[in-house]
Amino acid sequence: MTFIVLIILALIVIITIQIGRISDLATKIRGEEVANEQQNNRSALGLLIFLVVFLVLCIGSAWYYKDVMLGYGPLTSASEHGFLIDSMFNWTLFFTGIVFVITHIALFWFSYKYREVRGRKASFMAHDTTLEMVWTLVPAVVMAFLVVRGLVDWNKIFDAGKNGEGYIEIGATGYQFAWDIRYTGADNKLGAKDFRLIDPATNSLGLDWKDEASLDDIVLGGSDVIMLPVDTLVKMRVSSKDVLHSFYLPHFRVKMDAVPGMPTYFTFKPTKTTEEFRQELRKYPEWNEPYDPSDPESKPRWKEFNYELACAELCGKGHYSMRRIVKVVSKSEYDSWLAGQKSFYLKNIRGTENDPHKDELFPFEIENRKKELTAEFDAKANPETALAAGEDIIILKHVFYNTGSAGLRDLSKHELDNVVSLMNKYPNVKLELRGHTDNVGDDDLNMKLSQERADNVYNYLVGKGISDSRLSAKGYGETMPIGSNDTAEGRQENRRTELRIISK
């Protein structure tokens, strides 16, 4: 193939050289002036033909490809402000289009009209005020129109939400090569973050767990679809952790640079759900072609359409992998999706050594634990239900002791107070309080520790008015493990306090 192209090129060069020689000879035969004039005429005509072909191709190709350009055909804007931006582009295209056509016609027409003709001389003009006025004022007016129009639209876009209209906030942090997408959770507030808190393994965003607003923030997994509610203003807070990225949602006409150290934002309101946009695409024949051209049986393209997020900055070799799918759904679908998400903190940080709140319980945790314990107690203390062996035991998950001692920590009182009220609810229930340890340390000391811990629970309950005839306390040391003593988790399971229902 390359060989053939080379031969063709060589032939073209040879032919050009030969034509040059022939015209040299012809010039000598006919005389230089006549030959020059003929050459000028041919060149001028050639330029005219080029002009016509060029303009027809430009306009024709723009028309041919209009359906794949944003703002035309099926790719109308899917956000409220997108129409402003599209109309700005159209105005700009309108003016620059006029200039484009006029300048090209003038350029080539002048080349034709003022080609060298024997006996014709150029006229000389020193100055023309009218001409100066026209070519200064017309562009000035057009530029002023475009700039003012752009400013007005820009302010409209960035004023969104300032009139008190509610909005949801979403954080997008770019890094090589992905986005961390963060939702606010129920408080509609993104928690504080600090680059000094960034830990690639446990806290890639550097969220500050001491800020209460961080605790319910939801961070999407790397391949999760970004969900947005339709007809709701979204304030997108954009930042970067390493190099420049650009947060680009082409269908919503949103594009904002992600700059390290400089948080930026953008507000926009999606107006069409993904499904509605697909239905619009469906009307176009090219969107009914198979999604996979090699498989005519594959779904039509419109069914496979998705809004997408792209990084619009060439940020490195994995740049392409920053693409994410964006899905716009109804408000109710969005709300139920959001309600099903667990916050990053509760999923990954709560109770670990990175948790600054590990010595406290949150009100919702106290509430949830109360419900859980009550449900278990209700089921097991019901005189009607027969309990099989082992089923008569309830583990007190929220009873905590000081390390290595039997002293009850304050946090335990929530759980124990619940036990008090449940015992009052079921006056016939009698309980054995059982203490257990793991196998670390001396057997006898473990036995003693577990007995003291059970005694302390006993004393607390009696102190709250439960009759001592309904309670007994016994330490079992390390004799009844429920998990493996070989792992930290197993040992944690084994260190526990239980209730056993003796009678009911």
Q: Which residues bind Cu ion (CB under 5 A)?
A: 245, 311, 315, 322
Give dist(CA 247, CA 259) in Å, integer.
10
Give dist(CA 53, CA 64) in Å, integer.
16
- By beta-carbon proximity to Cu ion, the closer residue of 257 and 452 is 257
Q: Are 212 and 218 in contact (CB under 8 A)?
A: no
Q: Which residues pair with 319 in a beta bridge?
A: none
Provide the CB-side half-sphere exposure for 319 (13 A, CA).
Answer: 13
Task: Name the residue type at position 366.
Answer: I
- By beta-carbon proximity to Cu ion, the closer residue of 245 and 491 is 245
Question: Residue 238 burial by CB count (10 A; 0-12/13-18/19+): exposed, middle or buried?
Answer: buried
Kindly report the backbone phi and psi dihedral angles of residue 92, in degrees, each rounded to the nearest multiple of 5, phi listed first: -65, -45
- Smallest distance from Cu ion to CB 239, Å: 12
- Smallest distance from Cu ion to CB 223, Å: 17
Give dist(CA 210, CA 438) in Å, integer.
32
Q: Are 498 and 377 in contact (CB under 8 A)?
A: no
- By beta-carbon proximity to Cu ion, the closer residue of 205 and 315 is 315
Q: Are 497 and 399 in contact (CB under 8 A)?
A: yes
Task: Name the residue type at position 499.
Answer: L
- By beta-carbon proximity to Cu ion, the closer residue of 311 and 329 is 311
- Smallest distance from Cu ion to CB 314, Å: 8
CA separation, residue 308 to residues 183, 244, 325 (Å)? 18, 19, 5
- By beta-carbon proximity to Cu ion, the closer residue of 172 and 473 is 172
Give dist(CA 257, CA 268) in Å, integer.
15
Give dist(CA 322, CA 385) in Å, integer.
57
- Smallest distance from Cu ion to CB 245, Å: 3
- Smallest distance from Cu ion to CB 180, Å: 13
- By beta-carbon proximity to Cu ion, the closer residue of 245 and 453 is 245
Q: Are 329 and 315 in contact (CB under 8 A)?
A: no
- By beta-carbon proximity to Cu ion, the closer residue of 315 and 416 is 315
Nearest CA-CA partner of 301 in 283, 328, 329, 282: 282
Task: Note the helical H segments in 32-164.
Answer: 32-64, 82-113, 129-159
- By beta-carbon proximity to Cu ion, the closer residue of 237 and 448 is 237
- By beta-carbon proximity to Cu ion, the closer residue of 248 and 307 is 248
Give dist(CA 269, CA 63) in Å, integer.
30
- By beta-carbon proximity to Cu ion, the closer residue of 197 and 259 is 259
- By beta-carbon proximity to Cu ion, the closer residue of 217 and 313 is 313
Give dist(CA 117, CA 272) in Å, integer.
63
Please state at what angle helix 129-159 crosses helix 82-113, rounded to 10 degrees: 160
Give dist(CA 495, CA 483) in Å, integer.
10
Q: Omega of the bond prior to 177 within 30 degrees of 0, cis?
A: yes
- By beta-carbon proximity to Cu ion, the closer residue of 44 and 256 is 256
Q: Tokens representing 212?
A: 């209460």
Q: Residue holding tokens 């709701």?
A: 232
